[in-house]
């Protein structure tokens, strides 16, 4: 079933020897100079006392940019735990629909967050908003361009469309290390499934995990460390839904037009405008 991964770039080519001027020896009537005595031979170094190694050269094909290096120390990421260990040359990759929050959306978010914090004080607002079309997968550096090229070809025919995201729901990630409050899509599901089908096709080309079966499409609003879904479901969830339903601009605000798809791989972003 596994398909061969696209071949990576070949090893870096060594530099050819540079030509030296005057390399052909001309005969001369002048007396040749005696060769200078060479440096004294050093005794071999004892085992285990080698010279310090020079740093590896940067920018070799297949190496990620310096900005791509990621620390696995969860204390440096607000307590978040990585779903897979960071490995040099592996790039965390995600395909999604980006959402630019308007002022009214941020007002609604503040109302929801302030109320939800009475149940879970550690909740934090998301720094950016999106609707996922893939899981977070791992790409080798030399797969990025072929992956993006295949995405662009498969998504080229899609038009802009609307969906409605107005149902408050609580989510956890797969390993239960984070809990989210999100707005689930109630209209536009069919168009999203069509997009996921094409993204899944690209993932299969590279033998990567496809998206979830029967996905709950949503925009995450807030998160916290750990599985605290039990505190947020039930009464809290119903109260949050009431806030959304009563919000003056919600019917207009939560009807979202999607205009582009985006792929983030490491620190690189690739956009695919919808027609």
The pair of structure tokens assigned to 229 is 């879904």
Q: Can 130 be counted among the known catalytic residues?
A: yes
Helices 103-116 and 235-246, axial angle in degrees (round to 10): 150
- What total number of domains does the chain contain? 1
Percentage of residues in the chain with pLDDT exceeding 70?
69
Q: Confirm whether 4 is domain-assigned.
A: no
- What's residue 89's pLDDT? 87
Active-site position among 130, 142, 159, 189: 130
Residue 41 lies in a domain: no
20 assigned to some structural domain:
no
CATH number of the domain where residue 158 is located: 3.90.1140.10
What range defines the domain where residue 203 resides?
89-273
Phi then psi for residue 128, to 5 deg, are -145, 165
- What are the start-end ranges of the E strands in the chain? 90-99, 124-125, 129-132, 137-140, 161-172, 178-187, 218-225, 255-258, 260-265, 268-273
SS3 3: coil
- Judge whether 159 counts as a catalytic residue: no
In the block, residue with structure tokens 């959306």? 105
Entry pTM: 0.71
Q: What is the pLDDT along the chain (275 residues), one digit of tens a residue?
A: 444 444 444 434 443 333 433 433 333 334 444 444 444 444 444 433 443 333 333 333 333 333 333 334 444 444 444 455 557 789 999 999 999 999 999 999 999 999 999 999 999 999 999 999 999 999 999 999 999 999 999 999 999 999 999 999 999 999 999 999 999 999 999 999 999 999 999 999 999 999 999 999 999 999 999 999 999 999 999 999 999 999 998 999 999 999 999 999 999 999 999 99
**The pLDDT of residue 84:** 52
In a domain, 137, yes or no: yes
Task: Say if 197 falls within a structural domain.
Answer: yes
């Amino acid at each position: 079933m596994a398909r061969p991964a696209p071949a990576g770039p070949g090893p870096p080519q060594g530099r050819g020897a540079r030509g030296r001027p005057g390399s052909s020896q001309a005969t001369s009537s002048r007396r040749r100079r005696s060769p200078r005595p060479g440096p004294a031979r050093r005794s071999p170094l004892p085992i285990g006392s080698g010279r310090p190694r020079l740093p590896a050269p940067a920018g070799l094909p297949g190496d990620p940019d310096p900005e791509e290096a990621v620390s696995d120390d969860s204390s440096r990421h607000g307590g978040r735990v990585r779903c897979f260990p960071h490995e040099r040359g592996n790039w965390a990759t995600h395909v999604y629909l980006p959402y630019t929050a308007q002022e009214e959306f941020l007002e609604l978010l503040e109302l929801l967050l302030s109320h939800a914090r009475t149940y879970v004080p550690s909740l934090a607002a998301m720094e950016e908003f999106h609707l996922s079309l893939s899981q977070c997968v791992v790409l080798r550096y030399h797969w990025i361009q072929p992956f993006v090229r295949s995405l662009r070809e498969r998504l080229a025919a899609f038009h802009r469309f609307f969906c409605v995201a107005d149902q408050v729901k609580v989510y956890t990630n797969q390993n239960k290390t984070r809990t989210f409050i999100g707005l689930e899509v109630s209209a536009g599901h069919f168009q999203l499934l069509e997009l996921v089908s094409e993204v899944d096709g690209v993932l299969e080309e590279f033998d990567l995990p496809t998206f979830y079966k029967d996905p709950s499409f949503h925009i995450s609003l807030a998160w916290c460390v750990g599985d605290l879904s039990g505190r947020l479901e039930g009464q809290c969830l119903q109260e949050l839904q009431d806030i959304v339903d009563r919000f003056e601009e919600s019917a207009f605000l939560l009807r979202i037009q999607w205009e582009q798809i985006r792929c983030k791989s490491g620190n690189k972003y690739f956009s695919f405008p919808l027609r």
